[in-house]
Chains A and B, each alone.
Chain A
Amino acid sequence: MQTPSFVSEKMRRPALWGVLISSVALGLVFLTRAGYGGFLERAWGDRQAAYRTQFTNTVQTRFTERVQELLSVASEVRKDHGLLGLLKADTPTSIAAAFSALDRHRTINDVSLDIADPQGSVVVWAGKSVVESYRSIFDTGEVDTFVVISPAGLHRFLSVGISTADASAYVIASRTVEVNYPLSNRFVSRSSFSDDISGELGTSVRLLFEEGPPDLDTTDTILIPLLNLHRRPIAYALVSLPTLAEASQAADGLAALWSKIIAGIGALLIAFVVLTWPLRSTTHVLQFVLLASTVWSVRVIWRIVDFPSVLVGGALFDPAVYASPFLFSLTSSLGELFLSCTAVLITAFGLLSTVERLYVDPVEKDEGVSWAKRSLYVLLVFILAVVLQFVIRGYGAAMRSFVLDSTLRYQDPSSLVPEGPVVAMHLTILILTFSFILVVFAILFFAARTLSRSLPQLRRTVLLPLLTFIFLGGHGVFILVNRIPQTPLYYPMLVILLGVALVGWYESRRVSVPMATRITWRRALFMGATIFILSALLIDSKLHEKERLRVQMLADELLRPVDSWLSFVVTEGIRAAAHQPVGQFAAAETDTMDASNLAFKLWAQTLMSREGYNSGVFIYNSRGVEVSRFSVGMTSYEQVDLLSKVFDVEEEVLHVSERNLPHGAIRYYGAWSTVRDDNEQALGTVAVLLSASQKSLFRGETPEPLRAASRDRSETTFESISMSEYEDSVLVSTNDEFLNRGSRLPTYVLEELRRSEARFIWSEVMRGNSTLDVLFARDESNPGRVLAVGLKSVDSRWRLFNLVKMFTVYLVFFIVGIVTYALLRSVRRRAPVFGFREKLVSSFALLSILPLVVMAYYNRELAVERLNENITRRLSEDLFLLHQRIASTVHDAADFSGGVNNEYCEILASDLGVDFAVYGRSRLQSSSRPELYRTAILDGRLPGDAFANVVLLQRNIFKDTERIGEVEYIVGYRPIVLGGRFVGVLAVPALYRLQEIDEELAQRNAFIIGAYALVLLFIVAGGIALANRLSRPLRELSRAARTVGAGNLDVQVEPRSGDEVGELVRSFNDMTRQLKASRDNLARVERELAWKEMAKQVAHEIRNPLTPMKLSMQHLLRAYRDGAKEFGDILQRVSQTVIEQIETLSRIASEFSNFARMPERAFERVDVNTLLNDTLKLFAEVGGIEFRSRFSDVPATLIADKDELRRVFINIIRNSIQAMERGGVIAIETEVKDYICRVTISDSGSGIPPELQEKVFQPSFSTKTDGMGIGLAIAQKIVQDLDGTIGLQSEVGKGTTIVMQFPLKRA
């Protein structure tokens, strides 16, 4: 069997070794695991003790390290005499400088630095606030150096303090040791000591801050004291110890991991062994079946053992990115899909190669096929037409899955470079589309060859149109039965036409397949373009389908009277809030601090807070007075309005109301419940509200696109959705600028909705100059109500941007592929892939990209700069406007302290559309978003730099970049001056404007990239044209040189220019003319010499028989004259001699005639092996010669004149026999490889001396006494006429070997 060309036989031995090693390794893993279980059980006691020791050491060491780290930072500050000097100077300027100096010491990101006076008041700070005053700590007595853990909102901070040398100040460095925030998102960093330790130990760690050691040390947990600098415990870490079951499971996991890796690698190695194993007598189809089964067996085994997903995790193998149960879970993630598509590609290559090998010679017409068989062949072609439709449908279904079964953002407008998973998906699509093209081509090629065999009289000009007709007919039939088409109607027709064109091109060029054996960059470019077009068309179509699905879901959501999930969240919320420990309520009655935090604590424990909904909890005492409230994302007005409605319904009954806003209706859910003690006495009331609008900031995600439609930003940069509501066919509300209230619902829509069972129908509607895809949805609970949701096509520049992005990804794949291929060919010393023209085009493209990249970079930088300027300008305007409004309503400091509260800020923020906060010197006084401060997302202390610049240095405007979690944003500050007196600081955060920057940049990128792409396209097109023009003379010259090399010296190239290239062309023409003249002269001289030589030879040969003839006649004449008695005998003898010599002369004449004439040849298919076998039989009677023959397994069929070829073999064998006068061995061997038949005839004769070996093929040469010595010359001529070669190897005393090579007819 011929092994597939991509699996070299040299790999067999290493693969076998690999299989052996894998088997041994697998056995070792199993044995180790089996023995380890028992060992673990026996040693578990010691192990646990070791864990205790290890965990204790680790926790205490890490804690000590953290303390030392903070101490080190504080010490650095303490040593900064410049800073301390600035403090001592105690002027506004020096203190302001001290703030900057202190900030420079914050080498660790989340460290807070405070410098406090001996009374504990913080005078200079940098970072988050920990405590308002350190007085309580100083009162404990540990004033030189202290280590404490103190709560600050939802955080606990580890603080290390150290006094200055003169004890005039204290430097305190703090860092988060625990975060008790219910959510973890990009705004709240969960980085804490307990999380770090938990990650390091691989077990759960909880910190306890009780006085005295809690009694929690058990067999499964260990209580580790955290010690301060004086080795006294200030907190405890409760660490869970691993259990035996966990350890055993971990060992199982490790063994399973290694088993999977070894099994995966072993399966691949076994596949190599199978594919390189030499198997005789197998047909092409069986070879393909073996290849396909091996490839898919490996694939299935890899899936079963989860290889390579056990090694490579992340988004590639995350089902949330892509997953489908298609193909028996071989596509259960993006990585699995990629591997499966690679297996499909290998199978497709094998299929195409097999189909090609089934039909080697396209010229042959099988004239002897019966009509029954012909009919069967034609029927087969029709079946293939239907099979092709299934293949196209399958491909369409796969592409649909790639879009609908994934959460990938194929057309993410905000990113310039696609994400990694998107690139991986595009690569997968490329592989699958390539496979699809190969399979389509194989089917069409197979059909074409079958058709031409069954109808041999068909010419190619008729065959291709007939093929097209049959396959398009198949498509037509398929449409009738295909209930759920997976591709647009035109798509199969496009594929068929493309496939037929490929078949036609293939047949006309006689290109060998598979294409990997002969890839040129042009073919790769053509294939790449075809893949891109076929896949882009389908992807676009499926993305549109997905968009429609999203709109349908939105309509469904809007039509649904009540969202069951939100109802559930609210009922769970009220249940959780109303069943809290009674003690908390009681405490809230007396303690203001407890009261203010109670609502927040209850809210933080509900599902609605965890899910990040705009919601609130409101608590009232038994007298109905509000004691605590906490809400997120709802204005005071909304809260008041909704609460009044909620309390109108019964206890624990869900209330749902709707508020109509300009951008659409928003639903609110609420409920209330009484809180009772154990004696069923009412302690108070709790109410819960939830808004179904965008999820709040706390979730930290970008808004869901669906919900964005119902927000005030219903029209975003990326898509726009219009919504209209009809009541009894009359428009009652809409945000569509092209519709007027009172417009009527189109009649056809109404009829369709009435007639159809479906709730939704889609229709295209004209709006202005564009077309809108509108979904009309019927409200089942209110038959007269129809909702129309429209999806407006995005700007064409966005579409171009997405297309360019996708094309760029494919282009990168193409470039990587072609460069890799070129490098491989270069390593193997094969002909280069890139010619001069391709290098020219590549150089043009590269040179044109560089300035574009530079321009793009500077353009982006400029855009960012302009946007930042814009934002800071708007910030300044907002600050000015706010200050003006405050100053107009608040007159003095007393007014400011008493009147500027949260409610005031909220109303002002609502009026002006700007959120802001107000600080009374350094502490937060009020804010329009108090929940951001209550939940410690924003710090309640004015940042140090802002304090220094605005309060101390009295700057009018100060802007700073601040950070919460992973988010950076700009904040603007200005002093609030009332009646000429400074009363506070106004702060406006530009948190939400980040998204504007991103959108603006995305839009710029999109629109500019499209323009750049067009420019690049023009440059490349122009470059190609220019390169063609420049390289044409060189190509012509190259072709002419090849023609000259083939022996034709009549070729001339037309010089098209007067430059160096033209000069080169003219020189070439002169050279060929001279060569031709010289050759003609030489040929004439040679002919003359040859004729002279031949004439000499002829004369010599003729003289030979003439001499005995003359002598014989003379002897006869003499005998006649002498009257010899034995005249009769003499006459007999002389006659015999004369006749023999005449025959000799005749033979000489025949041989010359054979050499000189050009006989008519009868070409036919000749099996070389059979012919040699038959020729050997002619020499069967030759004594003393042993004939050994070894023929190839593969048939070696030539198109040749059988008799001529036989004469060649006879001539050579006869020469060999003649060279072995005392007998010997003649060995005859044939071999077929790479479409070349090699015939070797060796003898063990006397051999030919080296100086004579060159002459054996010359017509006049012979080492024999008889014969003309033109046998080998004739043989050479015959072989060369068959485009073959003949050569000779000989060694004196050992023998001679004649080697002939014949090219076999290839398709």
Chain B
Amino acid sequence: MKHLLSAADLDREEALTLLDTAEELASVTDRAVKKLPTLRGRTVANLFFEDSTRTRLSFEAAAKRLSADVITFTAKGSSVSKGETLKDTALTLEAMGAQVIVLRHHASGAAQRLAESGWIGASVINAGDGTHEHPTQALLDAYTLRQHLRGGSGDLQGLRVVIVGDILHSRVARSDVALLTTLGARVTLVAPPTLVPVGVESWNCDVTFDFDDALSDADAVMMLRVQSERMNAAYFPSAHEYSRRYGLDSMRAAQLPDHAVVLHPGPMNRGMEITAEVADGHRALIVDQVANGVSVRMAVLYQVLSSEEGAA
């Protein structure tokens, strides 16, 4: 695997290999010395054009546990801040010896563009591109679901996953639909009609506007963050109405089957899409997701860098 650009690019075998690798690497985390020598002498560059402390820290921790050197570049700028172009920054990091560039960018397709434009020769890992994809998030979600609902091995055949919230702008939703269905899960998207993408009928999933309809047979519910800027753009009348219709509170959580779990990619708006009671409750795997994120990112870095060795 030279790059990881999109969860939609992963077939079942590749996805399972990554999850199994993550499982093996996770055992490192249980050791007294949490480090493997695997990527010693390799350089991983984190290139973050968008604020994302948790994803950046997760990749940093993953790289360091595999003994890679890490250089990090963060620019808070938006597309209008012309000072830091993607091309120039990537060239700079490659010149500093980066073999892998972990890219978070506000432009959809930025990771694919970086990988295919011929600007650089390094591998590219998509750490979230605009409203397109966030494949390592999908991997950690799949990993977490497998761990809790499938005994930590195999695929997700027959699992019913409900994803709720701003589907339109969510790279997590796109990646999750792609990966979870590749692994055999059935995904239902829940959102107000204004936050459902045009053409969603062609996605490999169900869509409903009524959250309560989707609760009773769900094995897992994934709540998406609602960005504050959506509130003023007529997607829904008020935060209050949104949370009443699409928020997960303890009343709704009580309608879930006993075994059902609750996920959230973070950061949460407590009281908006999820109440504190549910977020901190016994179903919530939100902290597990963070821990698992490090393991799957170790697996991705390992796969990408070992393919480079094979090619050389």
A, B co-complexed: no
Give the interface of B toward A (CB within 8 A). Answer: none
Give the interface of A toward B (CB within 8 A). Answer: none
